[in-house]
């Protein structure tokens, strides 16, 4: 059972690694949000212990990006902040549970065990537009029986559009969901990714599932 700990405080990270290893987990540690997100994308973890205040990307951002990419790994958010508002915000970005520091190791281990158990039974919805399908649980995509390989970002962009069928989705909404709200690069990035996705899901099949609505955004035609 492999667990990812994303925590920048070396002392806490080391003690989590020791404690969890002692009870039989295999533990990977990342000390900032960017490395943590990278590891979470590369490996299948039974759960992630995610600190809120991290260099690089915050815990909220890491969690929101994983969820936008259809990654449903159970996340236990660790934070020094304590208050109902923060808890709501944490759960809002897709964290499954929340533990305020300083925490008791016994409580942490019990909550982690419960999360891992629930994670195995988690349901997730397969999104569809006609015969195009996207399965977040298996991180798979296809058209009919043909499988289509997407990169994590392409997957996230398509997930964002497919979850709002027949609705015009502004490029900025896609940026918020896939790149996070503080993305300051070229907003044209969305167009670049949509083109790449179209080359995989539409053009080879002679279809037009993703439509550009000039000056407004993009729309998935649920029956195209
Ligand atoms: Ca921290």
Collapse the DSSP code of 94 into the 3-class scheme (helix H, G, I; strand E, B; otherwise coil) and give the result.
coil
Q: Tell how far the Cα of 55 is from the centroid of ligand 1, in angstroms.
A: 8
Q: Tell how far the Cα of 156 is from the centroid of ligand 1, in angstroms.
A: 27
Which CATH code fits 2-123?
3.40.50.2300
Q: What is the mean pLDDT of residues 36-49?
A: 91
Which CATH code fits 127-220?
1.10.10.10
Q: How far apart are CA 30 and CA 50, in angstroms?
A: 10
Upstream peptide bond of 102 is cis (omega within 30 degrees of 0) = yes
Residue 91 has pLDDT above 70, yes or no: no
pTM of the predicted structure, to 2 decimals = 0.56
Q: Name, in order, each residue with C-beta under 8 angstroms of 198's C-beta and a sequence gap of 6 or more.
A: 210
**Angle ∠(193,199,200) on CA atoms, nearest 5:** 95
Q: Tell how far the Cα of 95 is from the centroid of ligand 1, in angstroms.
A: 16
Q: Tell how far the Cα of 52 is from the centroid of ligand 1, in angstroms.
A: 6
Q: Tell how far the Cα of 165 is from the centroid of ligand 1, in angstroms.
A: 38
Q: How far apart are the first and last CA of the chain?
A: 42
pLDDT of res. 148: 96
Q: How far apart are CA 184 and CA 28, in angstroms?
A: 31
Spell out the SS3 assignment of 5-21. Answer: EECCCHHHHHHHHHHHH
pLDDT of res. 102: 85
Q: How far apart are CA 206 and CA 35, in angstroms?
A: 39
Residues in the chain: 224
Q: For residue range 63-79, what is the model confidence (pLDDT) as tens digits?
A: 999 988 888 899 999 98
Q: Tell how far the Cα of 215 is from the centroid of ligand 1, in angstroms.
A: 41
**CA distances to 18, 42, 163, 218, 221 from 38, in Å:** 22, 6, 24, 28, 32
Q: Tell how far the Cα of 4 is from the centroid of ligand 1, in angstroms.
A: 15
Q: Tell how far the Cα of 199 is from the centroid of ligand 1, in angstroms.
A: 41
- Domain boundaries along the sequence of the chain: 2-123, 127-220
Q: Tell how far the Cα of 33 is from the centroid of ligand 1, in angstroms.
A: 10
Q: For residue range 99-127, what is the model confidence (pLDDT) as tens digits?
A: 888 888 889 999 998 888 777 555 457 88
Q: For residue range 140-193, what is the model confidence (pLDDT) as tens digits?
A: 899 999 999 998 889 889 988 998 889 999 998 888 777 755 577 787 899 999
Q: Tell how far the Cα of 183 is from the centroid of ligand 1, in angstroms.
A: 22
Q: How far apart are CA 171 and CA 191, in angstroms?
A: 8
Q: Tell how far the Cα of 78 is from the centroid of ligand 1, in angstroms.
A: 9
- Same fold for the pair 2-123 and 127-220: no
Q: Tell how far the Cα of 45 is from the centroid of ligand 1, in angstroms.
A: 21
**CA distances to 36, 159, 223 from 171, in Å:** 27, 14, 22
């Amino acid at each position: 059972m492999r667990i990812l700990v994303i925590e920048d405080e070396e002392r806490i990270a080391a003690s989590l690694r020791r404690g969890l290893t002692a009870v039989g987990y295999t533990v990977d540690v990342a000390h900032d949000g960017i490395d943590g997100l990278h590891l979470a994308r590369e490996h299948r973890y039974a759960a992630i212990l995610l600190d809120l205040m991290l260099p690089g990307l915050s815990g909220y951002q890491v969690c929101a990006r994983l969820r936008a990419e259809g990654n449903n790994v159970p996340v236990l958010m660790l934070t020094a902040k304590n208050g109902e508002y923060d808890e709501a915000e944490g759960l809002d970005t897709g964290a499954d549970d929340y533990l305020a520091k300083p925490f008791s190791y016994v409580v942490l281990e019990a909550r982690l065990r419960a999360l891992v158990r629930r994670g195995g039974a988690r349901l997730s919805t397969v999104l569809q537009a006609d015969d195009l399908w996207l399965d977040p649980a298996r991180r798979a995509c296809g058209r009919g029986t043909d499988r289509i390989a997407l990169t994590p970002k392409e997957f996230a962009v398509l997930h964002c559009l497919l979850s709002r069928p027949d609705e015009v989705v502004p490029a900025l909404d896609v940026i918020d969901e896939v790149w996070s709200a503080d993305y300051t690069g070229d907003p044209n990035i969305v167009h670049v990714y949509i083109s790449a996705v179209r080359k995989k899901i539409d053009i080879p099949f002679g279809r037009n599932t993703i439509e550009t609505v000039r000056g407004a955004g993009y729309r998935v035609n649920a029956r195209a």
